Amino acid sequence: MELSDVWFVLIAVLWTGYLVLEGFDFGVGMLVPVLGRDETDRRVMINTIGPVWDGNEVWLLTAGGATFAAFPEWYASMFSGFYLALLLILLALIVRIVAFEWRGKIDDAAWRRRFDVALIVGSWVPAVLWGVAFGNLVRGVALDADHQYVGSFGDLLNPFALLGGATTALIFLTHGAVFLALKTDGDIRHRAARLAERGAVATLVVAGAFAVWTQVAYSVTWTWAATTLAAAALVGLVVATRLRREGWAFIASAVAIVGAVVLIFGSLYPDVMPALDPANSLTVDNASSTDYTLTIMTWVAAILTPFVLAYQGWTYWVFRKRLTAEHIPPHAGLTFSGSVS
Amino acid sequence: MDALDLARWQFGITTVYHFIFVPLTIGLSPLVAIMQTIWVRTGDERWLRLTKFFGKLLLINFAIGVATGIVQEFQFGMNWSEYSRFVGDVFGAPLAMEALAAFFIESTFLGLWIFGWDRLPKRIHLACIWLVAIATNLSAYFILAANSWMQHPVGTVFNEETGRAEMVDIGAVLTNVTLLAAFPHTIAAAFLTAGTFVAGIAAWWMVRSLRRGDETTARDVYRPAVVLGTVVMLVSGVGVALSGDWQAKLMYDQQPMKMSSAEALCVGENGASFSVLTIGDLSSNECGDTSTIIAIPGLTSFLAKGDFDAYVPGVNELQERAEELYGEGVDYRPDLFVTYWSFRLMIGLGLGSAALAAAALWYLRRGRVTDKGWFARLGVLAIPTPFLAASFGWIFTEMGRQPWVVAPNPNPTGVDGVWMRTARGVSTSVSGGTVLTSLVAFTLLYGVLAVVWFRLMKRYAAAGVADSEIDPSPEARAAAPSEGDGPLSFAY
C-alpha cells in the first residue's frame, strides 16, 4: 500500500469523524423549529451539543487541511470547482457558529428569533449541500486536461447529486433526533424519539435508493459490503427507534454514516476526483504530495490522533448526563435595556 | 476589476477582518487563565468575578474568530487554486498540523471550560482554560510558519518536472528564521491588544465605581485589573519593539525591496533617514514628487542593519536587480503609498499604546485610584489602538511582498526557482463574477456581524463585574439531587 493510499483512507476517516459528529449537531439545529416548542425546549436542545459542536467542526478543518497537505491538486480543483456550493456552506457555517455563542447572550425574544433562523438555516444548508457535493464527486465532474473544473454551478444540481443532498439531510435529521432522545429527558425526549422513528423509515427509503444507485452506477464489487452494512444499520435504526432503544439507535445511525462514507470513498478509488472524461481524472497518484510530505504527515497524524480521540471522548463522558428543563436557568444573558448606572 | 483584483480584495478584507478578533483571543485567553489561577490559588472572589467578566467577553469574541477562520482555510483552494497546486506539498502541512495539534485542543477544551463550571473539579476546570490559551498560541505558530514560508521559502526545492515546490526539510520550515521573529512579534502584539482591552475597560470602570461612591470595588477589583492590563501592555510593547527590530534586519536581507518600500526610498543612500512625515504623491511610485517634512537621520539604516551609516538600497536599484534575476516587464515594486504609511501607522499606534500604559502605571502608582473622567475616556479610546496597529502590520507585510505571493529567497544557496507572482496564483477556472459574488456576500455578512459583535462587547463591558453573577441560581443548585447536576451557569 502506497502512502498516498494511506492518506486517501485517512481523509475518508476524517470525513467519517466529521459527518458522524457534526451530523447530529446539524440534526439538532435542523430540528429546533420542529421540536423546540418553547424557549426552554430550545435551550435544552442547543445545550445538548453546546460543549461539543466546536470540537466536532474541527474534523472538517482537519479534513480540509489534510487534503491540502496530502492532495494539493484535489484540494485546488475541488475547492475552486465547487466554488459557489462551498461559499454557501461557509456562509451557513459562519452564521451557525455565532448563533451558538451569541443567541443566549441577550435576553430578548426578537434577538433569539434572529439567531434561531441563523442556526436553522446554518444547519440545513450544509446538511443538504455536503450530500450534493459528495454526489457530484462520485458521479464525476467536467474537468479539463489541466484538472480544472469547466462545468457550471447548475451542472452540480443533477438528480443523482440532489438525491445525495436529500440523503444527507435526512440521515443527519434522524441522527440528531436520535441524539436528542439519548441526551434529554421528559417530554422533549419522547417527541424526539417519535420523530426519530419516522425519520428512520424515510432515511431507509431515500438513503437506500441513493446507496443502490451509487453502487450500481458508479461503484465496484467490494463496496457492496459497505452498502450492505449501511442498509443493515438503517434497518437496525428503524427497529431500535421503534423499540425506543436510544443507545442502539444512535450506534445504528452512526454506523449507517460510516457505511455511506466507505461506499463513497470506495467508489471514488483510485480516483480522488473522477472526471466525466476518465483521462482527465485526478487520481490518488497524480494528485498527491511527495512521499516526504506524506511521511511527515503520517507521523503527525499517528502521534496526535490518539490524543484527540481520547480528550474528545472524555468530553462526551463528562457531559454524559441527560439534560432537562431543570438544568436551564430561567434567564440567559443581559437585556439590552438594562441600564449601566 | 478582474478576478485577480477581486480575489486580492477578498483575501485582504477577510484576513484583516479575521485578525481583528484573533489577537484578542490569543492574548485574552491567557489573561483570563491568569485571573482564574489567582482565584483558584487564593480563593479571592474578586478574581472570580474578573474571570467571569472577561471570560464572557472572550467567548463573544472567540466565536467570530472561529467562524471567520474557516473561510481562511477554504479560500486558498477557492480563489488561489494555482497557488495551492504550486505550494500544497509544503504549505498544506502546517495548516493540517494547526488543525490537528491546536484547533482540536482549543475547541474541545473551550467547550469543557464553558460547560464545566460547577461540573469539573476546580483545578481541572482551570487546566481547561490554560489548554485553550496554549493552543491558541500554538495555532499562531503553525499559521505563521505557513506565512513565513511565503515571505522566505526554505526547506523546499523546485521540481521542474511537476512545476511544483516540494518540501525536503520540515525542520527548516518549522524553524524558519523569519518565523522565529514573526512569532514573538505577533504574540507580543496580541498580548498588547488584550492588555489594552483589559486595562481600558477596567480603567473606565474604576473611574465609574469611584464616582458612584463604590471605592471598594474601584480599589479592590478594577484597579488590580488595570495594573494587570498595563503591565502586560508594557512588557509586550517592549517585546513587539525588539522582535520588530529583528524582523526589520531579516527583511533587509530577505526582502530588501520591502525594507526600502517601508521608507519609500527611491534612491539608495548611506545613513538613510527615517521620515516621520512626507507629503506629496507617494502612490505614483515615481519618487520625484514628494518632500519630507520631519526626518530622523540614519534611523532607517539603523533599523535595517543596526548601523546608522549603513547603505540602504533604493527601490529603483532593486527593481533593476529584480529584472535581471526574475525577468523584465514586471513592476517588482509594491505600492509605496501603502507600504510607507502602513509601516508608520503600525509603529506609531503600537508604541503609542505602550507609552500610554507607562503613563497610566505612573499615574496609579502606590495604590492610587482616580475618578478623573479623562482617564476613563482615554482608557476606552486606547482599546482600538493595538487592533489598528496589528492590521497595519499585516497590510504592510503582505502588501510589501507584492508582486510576489511566494517571495524569492535571495540566498544563492537557498531555494532556486521557488517563487510565484501573485498574478499567477489566482484560480483560472473561477470567473470574476463568481469572485465578486463571494466578495459581496462576505463583506455584507462580515459587516453585519461586526455591528452585532460590537454591540455585544459593549453591552457586556458596560455590565461590569457586578452583573457577572457568581451563581445565577443558588437555590436550584442547592436543591439539585447530586453534585454537579444543578443548572448550567455558563450555558447557551
Q: State residue A271 phi and psi, 5-degree precision.
A: -80, 155
Nearest to B73 among A65, A95, A315 (CB): A65
Confidence category of residue A340, pLDDT binned at 50, 70, 90: very low
Residue from B81, B128, B458, B485 to probe the interface with A (highest A Cβ count within 10 Å): B81
Whole-number pLDDT of residue A339:
46
Taking an 8 Å cut-off on Cβ atoms, the answer to whether B107 and A73 are in contact is no
Instruction: Dump the DSSP string for A105-122.
Output: GB--HHHHHHHHHHHHHH
Task: Answer whether A239's CB lies under 8 Å from A269's CB.
Answer: no
Does the beta carbon of B466 lie under 8 angstroms from any beta carbon of chain A?
A: no
The model's pTM? 0.93
Work out whether strand B269-270 and strand A271-273 pair parallel, antiparallel, or are unpaired: unpaired
To the nearest whole number, what is the mean pLDDT of chain B? 89
> Nearest-CA residue of chain B relative to A90?
B71
pLDDT of B161 > 60? The answer is: yes
Task: Answer whether A147's CB lies under 8 Å from A73's CB.
Answer: yes
- Alpha helices by DSSP H, listed for B400-431, are 422-425
Q: Supply B439's cell numbers.
A: 466578495
pLDDT of A270 > 70? The answer is: yes
Show residues of chain A in contact with B167, CB under 8 Å: 289-290, 292-293, 296
Average pLDDT over residues A284-308: 94
Residues within 8 A of A (CB atoms), B 415-444 only? 427-430, 434, 437-438, 441-442
A14-23, A71-80, A147-156: segment of lowest average pLDDT:
A147-156
To the nearest whole number, what is the mean pLDDT of chain A? 93
Taking an 8 Å cut-off on Cβ atoms, the answer to whether A293 and B74 are in contact is no
Average pLDDT over residues B432-459: 94
Whole-number pLDDT of residue A114:
94
- Counting every residue written for chain B, the total comes to 492
Does the beta carbon of B92 lie under 8 angstroms from any beta carbon of chain A?
A: yes
How many Å lie between the alpha carbon of B407 and the closest alpha carbon of chain A?
20
How many Å lie between the alpha carbon of B453 and the closest alpha carbon of chain A?
9
Task: Answer whether B105's CB lies under 8 Å from B131's CB.
Answer: yes
Taking an 8 Å cut-off on Cβ atoms, the answer to whether B88 and A78 are in contact is no
Q: Supply B334's cell numbers.
A: 509594491
Beta strands in chain A (DSSP E): 271-273, 282-283
Does the beta carbon of A121 lie under 8 angstroms from any beta carbon of chain B?
A: no
- Angle formed at CA B258 by CA B298 and CA B152, multiple of 5 degrees: 125
CA-based nearest residue to A32, from A112, A151, A142: A112
B167 has which bridge partners? B156
- Measured CA to CA, the distance from residue B487 to residue B475 in angstroms comes to 10
- Measured CA to CA, the distance from residue B30 to residue B66 in angstroms comes to 17
Show residues of chain A in contact with B79, CB under 8 Å: 80
* A72-81 and B81-97 helices, crossing angle to 10°: 120
Show residues of chain B in contact with A115, CB under 8 Å: none
Nearest to A75 among B71, B84, B486 (CB): B84
**Residue A265 Rama label (left phi>0; alpha psi -120 to 50; beta):** alpha
Residues within 8 A of B (CB atoms), A 172-201 only? none
- Measured CA to CA, the distance from residue B230 to residue B232 in angstroms comes to 5
Does the beta carbon of B448 lie under 8 angstroms from any beta carbon of chain A?
A: no
Instruction: Dump the DSSP string for B451-487.
Output: HHHHHHHHHHHHHTGGGS-S-S-HHHHHHSSSTT-S-
Nearest to A75 among B77, B167, B430 (CB): B77
Instruction: Dump the DSSP string for B49-117.
Output: HHHHHHHHHHHHHHHHHHHHHHHHHHHHHHH-HHHHHHHHHHHHHHHHHIIIIIIHHHHHHHHHHHHHT
- Measured CA to CA, the distance from residue B151 to residue B410 in angstroms comes to 11
- Alpha helices by DSSP H, listed for B306-431, are 315-326, 336-363, 373-382, 384-399, 422-425
The four Cα atoms B101, B32, B17, A50 give a dihedral, to 10 degrees, of 70
Taking an 8 Å cut-off on Cβ atoms, the answer to whether A76 and B100 are in contact is no
Does the beta carbon of A295 lie under 8 angstroms from any beta carbon of chain B?
A: no
- The sign of the dihedral angle between the CA atoms of B149, B151, B155, B158 is positive
ipTM entry: 0.93
pLDDT 10s digits, A312-324? 999 999 999 999 8
> Nearest-CA residue of chain A relative to B81?
A76
State which amino acid sits at residue A41: D
Whole-number pLDDT of residue B438:
94
- The continuous run of DSSP H or E covering A138 comes out as helix A109-139
pLDDT of B172 > 50? The answer is: yes
Nearest to B427 among A69, A80, A315 (CB): A80
Average pLDDT over residues A78-99: 95
Query: In which residue are the cell numbers 451557513 written?
Result: A92
Show residues of chain B in contact with A60, CB under 8 Å: 70
What b/e readout covers B362-391, taking b as 16+ CB neighbours within 10 angstroms? eebeeeebbbeeebbebbeebbbbbbbbbb
pLDDT 10s digits, B398-408? 999 999 999 98
Work out whether strand B404-406 and strand B290-296 pair parallel, antiparallel, or are unpaired: unpaired
Taking an 8 Å cut-off on Cβ atoms, the answer to whether B111 and A62 are in contact is no
pLDDT 10s digits, B40-84? 999 999 999 999 999 999 999 999 999 999 999 999 999 999 999
Show residues of chain B in contact with A329, CB under 8 Å: 472-473, 476, 487-489, 491
The four Cα atoms A203, A209, A210, A212 give a dihedral, to 10 degrees, of 130
